[in-house]
Each structure stands twice: as C-alpha cells, then as structure tokens.
Chains A and B, each alone.
Chain A
C-alpha cells in the first residue's frame, strides 16, 4: 500500500500558493453534498452534520469548484421538485391544495437548510458570477417546475377561484389553507401573484357581481339593494384581510363599486317610491347615510345625489313660495321655510357627513326660491313682528336666540335686503309705539344681529328709534315732576317724541285737539322746547290712543280706548247732543277719508257702537247726523274701539308705495357705487363696472344691469364720467 505516499499527497501546504486540487476531490465532495440534499428532501436531515457540510461546500468554492456546486444544486433540486410535482398532480379532489401546501412547506424547509449550508457560495461565487442567489433560485425552480407546470397551473387557479365562489355563495372554506397558498404565490413574486391569481380573480369577481347586481336591482327596492351592496363590499374587504394580499383590497373594492353601484347609479337614485327623493321626503336617515357612503366611493356618485337633492329642493321650495294658501298667512309661510331648512340641515348633518358641497347646494337652492316671491322680505319681517308682538314670555332666552338666528339665516338669503329693512322699520315703529314693553331684549338682540350682518349704517336709524322711546319716557317723567302739582286734576298725558329722520315718514295731517287737552299739550310743548332749543314739535294726530271714561244713559259706565281722531270726535259730544257730519268735520278738521273711517268704527260696528247715526246705513255720508248712543251697553267695563280697516284695496297702494320708495332709494346707491369704483380705477370697461357695482351692492340688493346702465348715462350727462374717445366700451372718471 502506498499509504505513505498518500499521506504525503495529503499534506496540507501553507496558503501561500495555489493548490491545485485533485478533480476527483471535487466529485467526491459534491457527492457528499448531493447526498445531503437528498436526505434533506427525504426528511432525513437529522443525521447530517451541518458543520461538515458547510466545510465541504466552502472548500469546493474555495478551490474554484463553485460552478460545479451550483449546477449540481440546480439539477438536484430540480429533480426533487419534479417528483414533488408528480405527487401533487396525482392527488385528487380536495386534497390537491393541501398536498401542494405540504410540499411547499417541505421545499421551504429544505431550501432554508440548503442555503445555510451553501452560504459561502451564496456570498462569494454567486455575486461574482452573477448567478441567482440560492433562496431566490429555490423559489424560481419551484415556480417553474411545480406551479407553472401545465397540469398544475390551471388546476390551481380554478381551485382557488372555485373556493372563493363557494364562499361568496355562503359556504365555509378553509381560510388558513387559502392564506398559505396565496402567501406562496406572493412569495414567488408580485407578477406571479398577479398573473396567476389576482387578475383572473378580479375578472371573475366582476362577472359575478355584474350578474348579482342585475338580479338584485330587478327585485329589490333602493334601500334593500344598497344594504346588499354594502354587505358585499364589507365581505370583500374581509376576504382580503383574511387571505389575499393587501394590495388587492383597493382593486376588488373598485370592482364591486363599479359593478354594484356605478353601473346602476341613476336607476337607483330615481327609483320610484324608494329612490333618493322618497328617502328625503321621509327622513330616512340610515338609508341616506348608506347611499352617501356608497356613492362617495364612485366617480360622480355624490354629484348625482346632490343634483337630485337640489332639483327636489328647488321644486319643493318653488311650490312653497307660490302656494296661494301659504301666501295668505305670512307667519305660516316663513315657518314652512324654516321647517324645510331644519329638515335638510338634519339630513345633511346625520346622513351626509356635513358635506360642504351639499350645504352649498342647500344654500343656493334656498336663495333661489326665496327670491322667487317678491314679498318674501315683507313676510319675513311680518314673521318677526308676530313673534315679538306676542311677547316671548315663557320662551327661554336660548330659544329666543335660536329663533332669531334662524330668521337671520333666512334674511341672508334675501336679495332685496333693503326692502326688508323698510318693512322691518315700519313694523318696529308700530311695535314700539303700541306701548307694550314686551320682548325688549329680543328686539335689541335682533338689531344687534342685523348690525353684525349688515354694518352700522343698516341699524343706526333703528337704534335711534329705541333711543327716542327711552328718552321720551325720561322726558315725560321730568315733565310731571316739574309740573306735577298743577296737573293732578287734568288728563294724564304720555308723550313719545320721535326724531323725524329715524322713524318711517308719516304724512302730516290736520286735526284740532279737544279743548280739554289743549292746556296740557301746550304745557308739555313749552316744557320740551324749554330744554331743547332750536327744535320743532308737531303732534302726530294720525297715531296715538286715548282712554276715556264715558257714562251712557243714566248709569252705564265704561272706559273706552280709542284712537286720537275718535277722541276728538267723542269729546265734541260733551258740548252738544247732536252733531252733523259737517259740524264734526269743520270743528276737528280731520281729513275726510280718515274721518269717515273713524265715524264708521264708532257707529256701525256691532258691540262698539257708542255713537248712533241717522240714517242707519252702513256707509258714512256727508248728510249724516250723529248722536251719542245712550242705549249702549258693552260686555265689559273696558271697551276697545278699533278703527275700521279700509278694504284691501288700500293695502295694495301702501305696499306699492313701499316698493317704489325702495326702488327710488336704490338709484343714488347705485350712482354712489359707480362713482366710488370709477374714482378708484379711473378707467374701466362697461362689463367690469357692472360686475363690480353688483358685487358692492350685494349686501343690500341685487342691482339690475339695465338700471346700472341708466345711472351711468345719467352720470355721463352730468359730467361725472365720459366715454373714452377711441374705445367706446371704456368709461373714464372726470375729476
């Protein structure tokens, strides 16, 4: 034996020079490793020495046999995988997936061990020769030799899709197994996952939902359909979280959204008796919330909802403001508007997530139909008048604020705010002068709100009115404390001194006050003028009331509350029993129209006929004669005699007058705006002038372009502006 020789051959030399190793060494080492790999795949790894195998692999690579090692690895692994795939293929029915999963697990375990053993090669030979690293190699080989094997690939896809379909139709499947298989696919790379599973999955799902949605929509009401859609959507999200890749979530939800919602959007919204309008009318908050959430997910979904809501609102609103029944009762009119606003505020709050675009639609719709009725400003003022007149006693301060805030909200929608201001002023004047002290705080609160909304100018006169009332109280107080002693026996006088500019202008009228009053009236006048020099006082006889004690017959006593005119007439009967119309007219000098009404209220109204007239006709003629009605008996001690309101005909001209006055007032405002704008800009073209004027006056009223043009022409005529010489579209400011 040449053992000595052999020993000498195996002497280990120092690493200083290359050692050419016997090629047989390489073969031998490889065979060792190959055997190890086989054992690993055969679940026999326990008997192997990791350290030895690692060293062998290391040596191979070190001695330049990396290539051999690598190719050997490839072929061995491929061999094993091929046999694995055969066994998978041979599995029947339900065990297919499970077998696949098992083999995959085995392969992964083996791969890990192999990689650990071949780590040196992985770190040195592989990068330098640009080969695929071991782990990746293992995955690729699995993919090529197992998954993409014709027999297995299609079968795998079909099985998976079939299971998903079963789950969709209500069956329970093994989600854990699904998850593992899907993870396998994702581990093999995103392209494998996508082409082998995700894309066909999405396609099949689209088809499934297309059919299902078609079935549902034929037989379901909108609300039910939406519930089903929501359920399916949640199901898919759940599915993804349990066993699909998270990146599939957005894709599958898009599919469901498209098939179940987007494709049927219009039909759903317009479904008769159950669509969006029905939901709005019946305050179905949950259904509305669902439809909002679902439609939110699809393009133009919310636009569709919003359009339908807006057109419904505008129609309803338009009907509301033109309903003849409602127009008879202004308070009812406004209350209906407030109710409608409340309703939609709630809907947008509960169901539409306070979506700003919906709120904007709501606002623009309200603005649209409120201004369809030219009497809206008047009605809103009447509503406020009603609430403040009746007194808000019993209503808490917070509730008062809430009502006023709601009124302000409607006020903001008005285009003709200046018309509202005029009516509000008239109504406020009536309220303040009626003598009732109720709701003073509420009045002031509302004025403050108007001031915040529209600025100081809007409310300065209103505040003047309040001041006058207060000052008058002080003045009367001062009057009585100064002259008190002299006046004890005479009539009691309460005066309100009104500053002309602040109060709605009243036409002056003649009227001679009864002699019984002249003394005290003069005393007051001189008292006042004594403390306020340079002022002029005029008694407004068309306003004011008097309380008179009267005795009818022998002993029938009553206290009558009458208007100033009525007082003047009645006092005349202290001096004579019989008076003709002419007598009365001459002595009192009250204008005939008012005098007739005044007499009619006292002679022709049942229960208030303190005066008797001959003949007993309904109308007051200039030939009539009047007497005190000695037989008058009133129900109560105190009798209030109103003034006959003339036929509705009189109301119309008054309204026309108010509107005309407002139109007239607008002209100087437009001119002022034009001048302001031109002064700043110096030169500006026609369209821009119009646009800026409209914008500047927006807070008061909507300016009409034709009217603006007229005002511009008037300004040109008066040499405030001129047209530009070369471009006639331009206006120039003339300093």
Chain B
C-alpha cells in the first residue's frame, strides 16, 4: 500500500535525521523554532539578551550553574552566545525539543554533570568557556573565585572558600591559568583538607598551590 510504505519511509528518515539533513524531522524543526525564538537574527546566534530571555522563561537565574551546564552540553565556544549548531547538539542530546522538556531536563543534566566521569570535563570546560578573548590563557582572580564558587563550591565548600581567601590576599599571582585551575580540582580530590598531611611540595603541584598550603599551615600555627 503506497500510504503505508510512505509512512515507513518517514519513520526510517526520522531516525537517521543527521545523515539525511534534507528533510528535517519534527523534533529538529521544533528545536530550530525554539532557537529562532531567542536568536538575534542579524548574527544568527542567541546573544546574551536572548540567553537572559531563555533563563527567565526557564525560571532560572542567568548566573545559575545550570546554564553553564547547558553550555557544556552544547559545547558552546563563546561565552554568552549559542550558535544554531551548538543549540541543536545540546537539545538533541538532552532530548528536549520544547521549553517544558528543556526545563525538566535541566535537573537531569545536573545529575549527569555530577557523575565523576563527566565532572572533570565539565570543570575544565567551565574555565575555557570564560576565556573570552582570542588568545586569552588565564582568568583574573575575581572571576576565578566566582567561577570556583559556582562550579566547585557545592562539592568542596571548605577548600573553595579557603582558596579564594588566599587568592585575594596573595600578591604574587594576578591571574590563574588552565594548568593551575585543573590542578586545584585534583588538589581537592587527593589532599585531605585541613590536615594537609599528604601534600608534598616536592611533587609536581603548581607553585601557587605550594604557596596556598604554606599559607594554610602558617595560619593554623598562629591559630
């Protein structure tokens, strides 16, 4: 029967939507429409204004860490902007083609990020995401503290607060680079906090962490 066969053909095409871009499926269409509703047509990207609108529609603060997670899922390159490709990638993998679904998926996304296999990747991504300039390699202390608080705070509250205090007091470093950023995470995982017994300054820890540990030890002595 011609109708039946046509339906089958449709079904086949929708499951291989990526390999046959000529005929977008309903899902993709809805995703694209959603994109269009926030995008700035002159640059064909969602700009910060659009992001803000998206956030209010999702009832999250635009400084909420879930937006950052969303960016991660999309593998967004530029902070505050989403391209159509990125939008598609993200929403497709979330299986969210409506605002309602997207909102629901955000909670799932949180769990996904918390998974140890993904967290480190997310953590590193968040730093890169904040490097807004073209050849920028490091982030100023102020921004680092905010980012740390956002990303790592929930997991390692004590370490993050302590480290941010230190960063603001010390004078040697004005910025933090990727290497130092990644190593801080490793520090939180491996070193027992407060006691710091298993920290060995002769190992390959970045100097900024050596200084941090010295500062902590000095403080506990005078305390």
A interface residues, Cβ below 8 angstroms from B? 685-687, 690, 705-706, 709-710, 713, 716-717, 723, 728-731
A713 nearest CB neighbor, chain B only: B206
Interface positions of B from 193 to 218, Cβ below 8 Å from A? 202-204, 206-207, 210
A728 to B186, Cβ gap below 8 A? yes
Complex: how many Å from CA A687 to CA B138? 26
CB-defined contacts of A731 to chain B, threshold 8 Å: 204
Judge whether B101 is part of the interface by a CB distance below 8 angstroms.
no
Judge whether B25 is part of the interface by a CB distance below 8 angstroms.
no
A729 nearest CB neighbor, chain B only: B204
Cβ-neighbour of A713 out of B179, B186, B202, B203 (below 8 A):
B179
Cβ-neighbour of B202 out of A687, A710, A716, A730 (below 8 A):
A687
B207 to A706, Cβ gap below 8 A? yes
Contact-residue bracket for chain B: 10 to 19
A717 to B138, Cβ gap below 8 A? yes
CB-defined contacts of B186 to chain A, threshold 8 Å: 728
Given A717-B138, A728-B186, 18 more pairs with CB closer than 8 A: A686-B202, A686-B204, A687-B203, A690-B202, A705-B202, A706-B210, A709-B206, A710-B207, A713-B179, A713-B206, A713-B207, A717-B137, A717-B178, A717-B179, A728-B183, A728-B204, A729-B203, A730-B204
CB-defined contacts of A690 to chain B, threshold 8 Å: 202
Cβ-neighbour of B203 out of A686, A710, A716 (below 8 A):
A686
A711 nearest CB neighbor, chain B only: B207
Which 8 A-B residue pairs are closest in the complex by CB-CB distance?
A686-B204, A729-B204, A709-B207, A716-B179, A717-B177, A710-B207, A713-B206, A717-B137
Complex: how many Å from CA A686 to CA B178? 18
- Given A706-B210, A716-B179, A728-B183, the answer on whether A723 and B204 have CB atoms closer than 8 Å is yes
CB-defined contacts of B202 to chain A, threshold 8 Å: 686-687, 690, 705
A-B pairs with CB below 8 Å: how many? 35
- Contact string against A for B residues 168-200, beta-carbon threshold 8 Å, 1 for contact and 0 otherwise: 000000000111100100100000000000000
CB-defined contacts of B203 to chain A, threshold 8 Å: 686-687, 729
Q: How far is the CB of A677 from chain B (nearest CB, A)?
A: 15
Complex: how many Å from CA A730 to CA B186? 15
CB-defined contacts of B207 to chain A, threshold 8 Å: 706, 709-710, 713
A723 to B210, Cβ gap below 8 A? no
Complex: how many Å from CA A710 to CA B173? 11
Q: How far is the CB of A660 from chain B (nearest CB, A)?
A: 17
Q: How far is the CB of B178 from chain A (nearest CB, A)?
A: 8
CB-defined contacts of B177 to chain A, threshold 8 Å: 713, 716-717
Complex: how many Å from CA A233 to CA B204? 59
Complex: how many Å from CA A723 to CA B186? 13
Complex: how many Å from CA A690 to CA B178? 22
Q: How far is the CB of A733 from chain B (nearest CB, A)?
A: 15
Q: How far is the CB of A88 from chain B (nearest CB, A)?
A: 80
Complex: how many Å from CA A723 to CA B124? 14
CB-defined contacts of B204 to chain A, threshold 8 Å: 685-686, 723, 728-731
CB-defined contacts of A705 to chain B, threshold 8 Å: 202
CB-defined contacts of A709 to chain B, threshold 8 Å: 206-207, 210
Complex: how many Å from CA A280 to CA B210? 46
B137 nearest CB neighbor, chain A only: A717
- Contact string against A for B residues 75-91, beta-carbon threshold 8 Å, 1 for contact and 0 otherwise: 00000000000000000
Complex: how many Å from CA A705 to CA B201? 10
Complex: how many Å from CA A705 to CA B203? 11
Complex: how many Å from CA A35 to CA B47? 140
Complex: how many Å from CA A716 to CA B204? 12
CB-defined contacts of A686 to chain B, threshold 8 Å: 202-204
Complex: how many Å from CA A690 to CA B201? 13
CB-defined contacts of A685 to chain B, threshold 8 Å: 204
Complex: how many Å from CA A728 to CA B179? 11
B206 nearest CB neighbor, chain A only: A713
CB-defined contacts of A706 to chain B, threshold 8 Å: 207, 210
Complex: how many Å from CA A310 to CA B179? 46
A718 nearest CB neighbor, chain B only: B137
Complex: how many Å from CA A729 to CA B205? 8
Complex: how many Å from CA A728 to CA B189? 13
B183 nearest CB neighbor, chain A only: A728
The CB with the most chain A CB atoms within 10 A, among B138, B207, B210, is that of B207
CB-defined contacts of A687 to chain B, threshold 8 Å: 202-203
A706 nearest CB neighbor, chain B only: B207
Complex: how many Å from CA A520 to CA B9? 100
18 A-B pairs with CB atoms under 8 Å apart are A686-B203, A687-B202, A687-B203, A690-B202, A706-B207, A709-B206, A713-B206, A716-B179, A717-B137, A717-B138, A717-B178, A717-B179, A723-B179, A723-B204, A728-B183, A729-B203, A730-B204, A731-B204
Complex: how many Å from CA A690 to CA B200? 15
Q: How far is the CB of B140 from chain A (nearest CB, A)?
A: 15
B186 nearest CB neighbor, chain A only: A728
Q: How far is the CB of A691 from chain B (nearest CB, A)?
A: 11
Q: How far is the CB of B57 from chain A (nearest CB, A)?
A: 39
Q: How far is the CB of B175 from chain A (nearest CB, A)?
A: 10
CB-defined contacts of B206 to chain A, threshold 8 Å: 709, 713
